Amino acid sequence: VQLQASGGGLVQAGGSLRLSCKASGRIFSSFSMGWFRQAPGKEREFVAAISRSDSRIVHADTVKDRFAISRDNARNTVFLQMNALKPEDTAVYYCAVQFGSPRAMMTMTPSSGSWGQGTQVTVSS
């Protein structure tokens, strides 16, 4: 599976961005797709994930009231709507896909599943 993320950019605190990630290749109904982020000097952390088959969703506690993940199976695309952005949301955002549940993606490692190239999100104060 190949993943192409887009939609990052520079935004002021309180603003919004919408990230997109299009998947190509062999897409299975048992996949979940998700978003992770990595800030400079920090480990990659889980943001949100959604199942392909039944729309089960998991968001990290740090973003669940501000970010929303969604998907369009017809276009093999997952979205991350980010509202009320804060400077601490600044990071490279990666999309990922793997077999299994969205909750299982919370412990996904960089060596498992498939990953996109990342898109930079910068939130200025």
Q: What is the spatial distance between Cα 51 and Cα 97, in angstroms, rounded to a whole number?
A: 10
For residue 17 the two structure tokens come to 């961005």
Yes or no: say if 94 and 116 are a contact pair by the CB < 8 Å rule: yes
Tell me: pLDDT of 62 over 90: yes
Tell me: pLDDT of 61 over 90: yes
Residue 28 pLDDT? 82
Residue 76 pLDDT? 92
**pLDDT tens digits, 9-33:** 999 999 999 999 999 998 888 899 9
Residue 27 pLDDT? 81
CA distances from 10 to 34, 74, 102, 115, 125 (A): 22, 29, 28, 23, 11
Tell me: pLDDT of 69 over 90: yes
Residue 20 pLDDT? 98
CA distances from 48 to 12, 59, 124, 125 (A): 22, 4, 23, 24
Q: Are strands 119-124 and 9-12 parallel, antiparallel or unpaired?
A: parallel
